Amino acid sequence: MMLERGSIADRYAAVRAEIDAVLRSLGRPGTVRVVAVTKFQPRTCVQEALAAGVESVGENYVKEAEGKLADLPVRKHFIGHVQTNKARRICELFDIVESVDRIEAARALDRAAATQGRTLPVLLQVNISPTERFGVRPEAFDDLLAGARALEHLRVEGVMAIAPAGVPQVQTMRAFETARACFERSGGKVLSLGMSGDWREALAAGSTELRLGTAIFGPRPAKEAIR
Ligand SMILES: *Cc1c(COP(=O)(O)O)cnc(C)c1O
C-alpha cells in the first residue's frame, strides 16, 4: 500500500522498494528511472526529494520551473505541453523533453537547440487516452518519428504516454501496449509510461521510466497555492 502519511523520504524509499519488488516478480533485471513530478510542489519539497536521493524531476510548466528548478543539481524532464514560443526557454532549462507531439514543436525545439549548440534528447508523446488532449495519435506516430529524426539537433530517445485514468486494468494495459508498439518502432531506449496510479501496469508493459508525483509527494497542492 502507498503511504498516505510520512515524509517525502519515507514515501520515496517505500515506492522504490515496491518498484524493485515488482521488477523482481516480473523477472525484469536492471533498474527503472523514477522521475519525481514536482508540479505545484514548492521548492522546499523538491529540495527534500533531492536529499532523499531523487535524481530526476519532471515539470509541466516553464514558468513554474524557472523559479523553482533552475539552479538545482538534478536531471530535469519537461513533461508538459510544448508551446512553440516557449521552446527556447524549455531548451535552456531542461535536460530532456518528453512531450514532443507534433512536428511544429519538434522544429521549434530543434531551432532552439541549434542556437544553443547542443543536441536535445526528446521523447515522442503518443496519445493513448480519449481524455488526454495532447500526444500524437498512434496512426500518425511514424510520420512524426520520421520528421523528428530528420532534425539535426534533436535525438529521439523513445516514447512517453499518459494512460486513461479511472478505467479497468485491462483497458490501461491495452493503452500501454499501443504506446509500446510505437516505442518498438522508434528504435529508442526510453519508454516513459506509468504514474502514481498505474505504474505497476506500466512496468508489466515494459516501461523503463515512471513519472511519479503523488506517490512521492502526497496530494498535490492547488495550482494557486504556489509562490
Ligand atoms: C502530473 C503528471 C504526472 C504525475 O502524476 P501522479 O499521478 O501524481 O503521479 C506524470 N506525468 C505527467 C505528464 C503529469 O502531468
Does residue 111 form part of some domain? yes
The verdict on the CB of residue 205 being under 6 Å from ligand 1 is: no
The verdict on the CB of residue 77 being under 6 Å from ligand 1 is: no
pLDDT at 2: 47
pLDDT class for 213, splitting at 50, 70, 90? Answer: very high
Query: Pairing state of beta strands 56-59 and 33-37?
Result: parallel
Using most ligand atoms within 8 A of CB, pick from 211, 212, 214, 220 the residue to mutate for ligand 1.
Answer: 211
Does residue 129 form part of some domain? yes
Residue 36 pLDDT > 60, yes or no? yes
**pLDDT tens digits for range 181-201:** 999 999 999 999 999 999 999
State in Å: Cα 117 to ligand 1 middle.
31
What burial letters (b/e) apply to 38-51, b meaning 16+ CB within 10 Å?
bbbbeeebbebbbe
Does residue 4 form part of some domain? no
Does residue 8 form part of some domain? no
The verdict on the CB of residue 37 being under 6 Å from ligand 1 is: yes
Report the CATH number at residue 135. 3.20.20.10
Residue nearest to atom 6 of ligand 1 (CA): 213
State in Å: Cα 63 to ligand 1 middle.
17
Q: What is the mean pLDDT of residues 109-128?
A: 98
The verdict on the CB of residue 11 being under 6 Å from ligand 1 is: no
The verdict on the CB of residue 213 being under 6 Å from ligand 1 is: yes
Residue nearest to atom 11 of ligand 1 (CA): 211
Helix (H) or strand (E) holding 105: helix 103-115
Residue 3 pLDDT > 50, yes or no? no
**What amino acid is encoded at 73 in this protein?**
P
The DSSP call for residue 85 is G
pLDDT at 224: 61
Q: Give me the number of domains the chain comprises.
A: 1
Does residue 79 form part of some domain? yes
The whole-model pTM stands at: 0.95
pLDDT at 227: 44
pLDDT class for 31, splitting at 50, 70, 90? Answer: confident
For residue 60, what are the domain limits?
Answer: 33-216
Does residue 16 form part of some domain? no
**Proportion of the chain above pLDDT 90, given as a percent:** 92
pLDDT at 135: 98
Residue nearest to atom 12 of ligand 1 (CA): 79
| Cβ proximity of 87 and 110 under 8 Å | no
Does residue 141 form part of some domain? yes
Q: Which of 221, 162, 147 is nearest to 196 (CA)?
A: 162
Helix (H) or strand (E) holding 149: helix 141-149
Q: What is the mean pLDDT of residues 135-153?
A: 98
